[in-house]
Amino acid sequence: MQLSELEEYQDQLVLHLEASGLNVSFGDDLSVLLKTYEVATGTGYVQLPFVLENPQDFNPYNFWVCFDDGNAPVALTGFRTMQNTGEIRRVGEAYSQGALYRPRKPEGWFPDSGPELRPHALYGYIGAGWVHPRFRGHNLAGFIARIAQSEALMRTRGTLSMSTAMTAEALFRSGMNLRASGLHHLHVEQVLGGYLAIADHDMKLFLSYSTGTELMSFYERELAMLREGEVIPWLHEHDKSSADEVIAAGRQPVCEELPVSTMAGLLS
């Protein structure tokens, strides 16, 4: 998938949201994300991966995405991009060493868990996700995840090694982080099984992730459908397909006899 196609894909998603009455905006200051998140959710919950204490942590690859209805935010997410050291590390090891945030106390990370990071590889973390209760049920989480991760791929000029997210055990058990409708990551692995500073108690935490190549294959499949004016069922029809199935279907020959339908309205 070329970067120009990735831009076309993101534009299609944004135009669809705008046609439904939502505005889409991007910002580079993660402190604005945290303040907006606190005001929008009414909680003081701190998204540790986006609290950057070291000025060297700031880079042009960090950003946030917001949907609003003209009055207030209705969906938020942030994307933080990091660079690996000069040695091969697993993601679990990098996070245990404080790459994601600097823990106040030792945490229960499994250093041998997660995928390998090449020396100096760029890898991202998507989080601070929120959708207003009034707008839930229309898969805005799926839209904002796609827009954010395609933005990360474009900002890094296609060199993003992988995108990661963290989920607690309950969400992992639901299977949502492997479905095409959600974060559409293709892999899940437990990376923490002990103390977590952000929760201040012991818990199990699971890393979901996709490589940059896998994400672009996924978006290439959806772009082909958008170009044909097809409904994307896992975005509009509560389809339960897994991300693996979506990519696999994109490799199969398309039957010319299948009917082509128009895009369903997001909020209809």
Query: What is the DSSP code (8-state) at residue 128?
Result: E
Give domain status of residue 259, yes or no: no
Rounded to an integer, what distance in angstroms lies between the CA atom of residue 235 and that of residue 223?
13
For 106-134, what is each residue's pLDDT tens digit? 899 999 999 999 999 999 999 999 999 99
Question: What percent of the chain clears pLDDT 90, i.e. is strictly above it?
Answer: 59
C-alpha to C-alpha distance for 264 and 210, rounded to whole angstroms:
28
Angle at CA of residue 151, ends 145 and 153, nearest 5°:
105
Range of the domain at 33: 3-250
| Model pLDDT for residues 203-219, shown as the tens digit of each residue | 899 999 999 999 999 99
Q: Are 183 and 131 in contact (CB under 8 A)?
A: no
* pLDDT given at position 74: 95
- Please provide the size of the chain in residues: 268
User: Rounded CA gap, 37 and 130, in Å?
Assistant: 8
What is the token pair recorded at 87?
Answer: 């040695």
> Highest mean pLDDT range out of 18-22, 192-196, 251-255?
18-22
The predicted-structure confidence for 148-205, as pLDDT tens digits, reads as follows 999 999 999 999 999 999 888 887 787 777 888 886 788 999 999 988 877 788 889 9
**Does residue 263 lie in a domain region?**
no
Select the more confidently predicted residue: 254 or 226.
226
Q: Is residue 209 part of a domain?
A: yes
Q: Identify whether 261 is part of a domain.
A: no
User: Is residue 268 assigned to a domain?
Assistant: no
pLDDT band at 241 (very low <50, low <70, confident <90, very high): confident
What CATH number is given to the structural domain containing 183? 3.40.630.30
- In angstroms, the CA 222 to CA 220 distance is 5
pLDDT at 255: 37
Q: Which residue has the tokens 């509560």?
A: 238
Q: How many domains does the chain have?
A: 1
Report if residue 257 sits inside a domain. Answer: no
> What residues have CB less than 8 Å from 33, skipping those under 6 apart?
27, 47, 50, 64, 76, 78, 128
From residue 162, give the alpha-carbon distance in Å to each of 130, 227, 262.
22, 26, 32
Question: CB–CB of 134/178 below 8 Å?
Answer: no
For residue 191, the cross-strand partners are: none
Q: What is the mean pLDDT of the chain?
A: 87
